[in-house]
Amino acid sequence: MTATEIACLCIGAAGILTALLSLPFFCRGRALSKKCSARTTGTVQRYRIGGGNRKAISPVVAYLVDGKPYTAYRHYKGVVTSRKSGASGAGNRLFVSERDVLHIHTAGMFCNCGELAAALWPIGSTMPVVYNPRNPKQGFVEKPVSLGGTVGVTLLCTGVGLAVFAGAMFLLFQ
């Protein structure tokens, strides 16, 4: 075997291994959805501002399981912020898309996320909560959200890309 063939073989093997490493992440997301099978209703207590995106905001919901209080906040698959120039604050909007992405549209440089959140999730309003009956502390507002799927897709695509690259290099240097 030549050095090129060995390199292609190693890169291809790394790609296959990376693709196989994605499987546990997909399984974890499904397992989380199965575990969180109990449902209840919670009450919006306050808002959580910040996180990965400084403008991200989500309702913090209090719920009871067997008389014990727990809290959970709304998770999103992503947050998108956009700004339209202008002095009027009338264009401020906050909404969650079908793809479970929080969209924050502001009409100027500054945004009062608390006001936007209060319009969408008023304090004292109710929201559905799903939780793990064996561990009620593991609760999610509306539905379980896990980054396992995103990580799994990333690993899978990287692994397949490496394997395809190795195959193409092998054929190119033959």
Is there a domain that residue 89 lies in?
Answer: no
Is there a domain that residue 112 lies in?
Answer: no
pLDDT category, 108, cuts 50, 70, 90?
low
CB-based contact 135:50 (threshold 8 Å): no
Is there a domain that residue 97 lies in?
Answer: no
Q: What are the tens digits of pLDDT across the range 53-100?
A: 455 788 899 999 999 999 998 877 777 777 665 444 445 577 777 777
Of 122, 83, 120, 136, give the one whose Cα is nearest residue 105.
83
Domain housing 169: 1-35+145-174
pLDDT category, 133, cuts 50, 70, 90?
very high
Count of domains forming the chain? 1
Query: Token digits for 82?
Result: 């956009």
DSSP secondary structure code for residue 123 in this structure: T
Is there a domain that residue 47 lies in?
Answer: no
**Burial annotation 159-172 (CB, 10 A radius, 16+ → b, else e):** beebbeebeebbee
Phi then psi for 134, rounded to 5 degrees?
-80, -25
CB-based contact 105:92 (threshold 8 Å): yes
Write down the mean pLDDT value for the chain: 81
Is there a domain that residue 15 lies in?
Answer: yes
Is there a domain that residue 5 lies in?
Answer: yes
Is there a domain that residue 17 lies in?
Answer: yes
Is there a domain that residue 135 lies in?
Answer: no
pLDDT number for residue 84 = 61
